[in-house]
Amino acid sequence: MSTTTHALAYRAYTVIKREGQEDFWQLLGAAFLHQDGEGMNVVLNALPIDGKIVLRVFKDEQPAETGPHVVAGTAASAQLKPSRRSR
């Protein structure tokens, strides 16, 4: 069974609730599908304080992210590549 990664499938976020403001979606990392379609590797650059990770489907048409962002109900994007450790 292959464990090499194939394609960016999801972006990983933590959603921070803010009183009187829109939720803050902090990008944590990404999930990459295995070539055999039987699983995925999750690569995180940070961990959420509350232990909850939100995975959102990656969409090619989303613009590249340049820093922290505020998103109401949808996830913004980032240019992420699997690290050598995720293969």
Tell me the pLDDT tens digit for each residue of 19-40: 999 999 999 999 999 988 899 9
| Residues 75 and 56: beta-carbon distance below 8 Å | yes
60 vs 70, which has greater pLDDT?
60
Q: What percentage of the chain carries pLDDT values higher than 70?
A: 61
Report yes or no on 10 lying in a domain.
Answer: yes
CB contact at 8 A, 42 and 31: yes
Burial grade of 25 (CB within 10 A; 0-12, 13-18, 19 or more) = buried
> What's the pTM?
0.63
Residue 87 lies in a domain: no
Expressed as residue numbers, the domain containing 47 is 5-81
Residue 86 lies in a domain: no
CA-to-CA dists, residue 55 to 1, 2, 20, 75, angstroms: 24, 23, 25, 9
Structural domain tally of the chain? Answer: 1
Name residue 86's amino acid: S
